[in-house]
Structure 1
Amino acid sequence: MNRVLLNTICISCLILGACKKKQPPVNTEVPVNLIKVKAQSVLYFDKYPSTTAALSQVSLLPQVQGAITGIFFTEGSHVTKGQKLYEIDTRIYQNNYDAAVANLRVAQSTLKQSQQDADRYEYLNKYNAVAKQLYDHAMITLESSKSQVKAADEAVKTAKTNLNYAVVTAPFSGTIGFSQVKLGNVVTVGSTVLNTISTDSPMAVDFVINEKQLPKFEKLQMEKKAPVDSLFTILLPDGSLYPEQGKISIIDRAVDSQTGSIRVRLVFPNAQNLLRVGMSCVVRVHNQDTKPQLVLPNKAVVEQMGEYFVYIAKDSTITNPKAPADSAKTKKALVAAQKKVQIGQTIGPNVVIKSGINEGDRVVTDGVQSLHDGSQITTANKVGPSTGKGGKG
């Protein structure tokens, strides 16, 4: 029995030893694909979230009180300067105007009579033919009549103004919105909003930049020569390109001390009324740097805690202490070296590299997920295109 057990143990050891001998050596080299970095001219746009705004916009408020008796426009339509929009009950204001005109005529008649009396008493006073008191009273009555005419004339102007205010007209040409009042509604002076009207063309587009970019935009604003084609364009909310080009109108007076940002306003022609107030767009600023730049595929860039890295291939010599005595103790190998980079604009599947690597460097584009600084790599076995996992987000 012991002999059978001993034979079994020996056979098991032989089998296990045979299996170990058949296992292939562990390959520590990570297969990767490399790309040689080259400087090239690139075309791209810096993009900024933006919002459209009217150059002029006003809320229409009544200047007199009363009931709305007329609405003379189509909501959401284009109106012209001076166009009649609303009418507030004019009867009381017409009556006040008529009464003021009548009072002015009475005052003018009284003045005429006072003037005649004053002229008569002034003539008699030259010859001491009238009592001094009567002469003085006549002069005072004349001055009082003149003042009454002025007061009556001002009352006519006020009544006329109120009568005019009973008809609300467009202060400028533009688009009018939904009416906030209906026929018969009683409106209050200075508090009831009738409607809002805003200019159509040109249309403003506002966006925010970092204060570090301010010198660049100030230079573009002051540029006298013709700018590059499509310097300022916008993408509409549906992603389509707006057919007109814009220009810088205003750079805000101050930087926001809390955010370190400042607002910039562009203006765009809007003859077709494609832009509406409050739209969310994307401003595209054409790249002005014509120098060749380093460009890499996005998948070659790894993001770690807000910082960006790439792996470059470096020739190295690896020491192998387990090599047989009759073999070389060292061998040449490729090693992955991690480099911190500063990225720039994303251009489709690629990204501009501003610093961290040099032209001619060999950068790992596929296989970065399996690398760390100092990993041995090989290009002998081609790696399939990366799905982008582990690359720049």
Structure 2
Amino acid sequence: MKNIAVLSSLFITASCGSKTQQGQMQGPPPAVAVTVADVVSTQAIYYDEYPATVTAFNEIQLRPQVTGFVTGIYFKDGDRVKKGQKLYSIDQQQYEANYQQAIANVEVQKTNMLKAQKDADRYHELDKQDAIAKQQVDYADAALEASKKQVEAAEANVRAVQTGVKYTTIFAPFDGTIGISQVKVGAPVSAGQTILNTVSSDNPIAADIAVDQKEIFRFTKLAEQKIQSKDSTFTLAFGDSIYEYPGKISLIDRAVDPQTGTIKMRLEFPNPKSELKAGMTGTIRVLNNNMQKSLLIPYKAVTEQLGEFFVFIVKDSNKVSQQKIILGKQIGTNVIVKSGLTDGDKIAVQGVQNLKEGSSIKLDTTAQKK
């Protein structure tokens, strides 16, 4: 047993000695080949982007104000309509008959009033001669006043019935585009209930975005600017397609939404070709031409760890040090750095995946030529 223990001890000692010799032979890790770039301070021109929904400035559902049957439709679905254009008619026979009856009732009440007037005049003449009781004169005056009120009531009824006749024809409330009719000729409709159609304005048209409350001051200033016809401060994008006409701020909502901390902005865009339709979704691009210079670096130089961003700064000893940074807007293959770097810093760009704190580096001329 003692011999076995001695042999094991010798084996362990020999193994340790072998590892020590290997470590001495390996030496420090080799330098990592990287490309480097200078941190550049420049005036960055880019666009801030906000999800947008296209909406009409004016939109209304057409509902009848009388009950009846549709007798006429005077447009084609999807037509552009003008304010005051005739759109629908509803059977007005009943309403016309009521109107004529109301007019006839006015004439009857006027005849009654004329008779009451003559009676009152005659009783007043007799009263001057003291040939009639004073009470009879008072009765005649009261009957005349009642007749006058009845005439007024009959005339008011004519106006009410006439309004019903007027409402049997439905007109376009403003210039815009009408949708697909929800009823056909002959269909019954109910006053205030049945939806006939929807009309919406489409030139100009609006696009709504939600903006963080921190940006209210900036957008207020932009709203005060006089936007030229070719100004590109506000543009509307659908994927890779940019709408040809630039927009301008139409209004800023009255209050911030306390739940989201955002406020609604409405932008106005010309729409002469009717290319924009209410309900479309896109992106509002707001030109951010900041007069202050920004630090730009290649985006591929950035590494991410647990939601934080880092770069490797090149030191004088050809070693790198990991530096945490705060990123801003990405512009093409570059990205703005809000903090963590200064103008003139050198950072590793390619080969960063092989780097760690304190790694030695060498310039990769092959990658630079590519």
Identity %, equivalent residues: 44
Structure 1 Cα separation of the partners of residues 271 and 364 of structure 2: 59
**Residue 351 of structure 1 corresponds to which residue in structure 2?**
335
Matched, 1:373 2:346: no
For residues 1-393 of structure 1, what are the structure 2 equivalents within 5 Å?
27-223=29-225, 229-235=231-237, 237-316=238-317, 334-380=318-364, 382-383=366-367
Is the 8 Å Cα contact of residues 227 and 248 (structure 2) preserved in structure 1? no
1:385–1:353 Cα change, 3 Å? farther
| CA shift digits 1:33-81 (9 cap, x unpaired) | 1001121222211111101111111111111111111111111111111
1:385–1:202 Cα change, 3 Å? farther
Structure 2 Cα separation of the partners of residues 51 and 225 of structure 1: 22
| CA shift digits 1:301-326 (9 cap, x unpaired) | 2222322221111123xxxxxxxxxx
| CA shift digits 1:281-312 (9 cap, x unpaired) | 21111113123321112111222232222111
Is the 8 Å Cα contact of residues 32 and 382 (structure 1) preserved in structure 2? no
TM-score after normalising by structure 1:
0.83
Name the SS for the 1:44 alignment partner.
strand
Is the 8 Å Cα contact of residues 229 and 246 (structure 2) preserved in structure 1? no
Structure 2 Cα separation of the partners of residues 275 and 227 of structure 1: 18
Amino acid at match of 2:333: P
Name the SS for the 2:313 alignment partner.
strand
Name the SS for the 1:219 alignment partner.
helix
Structure 1 Cα separation of the partners of residues 277 and 221 of structure 2: 29
Structure 2 Cα separation of the partners of residues 115 and 240 of structure 1: 80
1:227–1:101 Cα change, 3 Å? closer
Is the 8 Å Cα contact of residues 43 and 290 (structure 2) preserved in structure 1? no
Structure 2 Cα separation of the partners of residues 127 and 157 of structure 1: 44
Amino acid at match of 1:256: D
Is the 8 Å Cα contact of residues 59 and 201 (structure 2) preserved in structure 1? yes
Structure 1 Cα separation of the partners of residues 273 and 229 of structure 2: 24
How far did 1:117 drift? 1.6
Is the 8 Å Cα contact of residues 32 and 360 (structure 2) preserved in structure 1? yes
Amino acid at match of 1:261: T
Q: Which runs of 5+ in 2 are unaligned?
A: 1-17
How far did 1:225 drift? 8.6
1:295–1:385 Cα change, 3 Å? farther
Amino acid at match of 1:172: F
1:288–1:41 Cα change, 3 Å? closer
Name the SS for the 2:344 alignment partner.
coil
How many correspondences in the alignment?
350
Is the 8 Å Cα contact of residues 367 and 383 (structure 1) preserved in structure 2? no
TM-score after normalising by structure 2:
0.88
1:312–1:273 Cα change, 3 Å? same
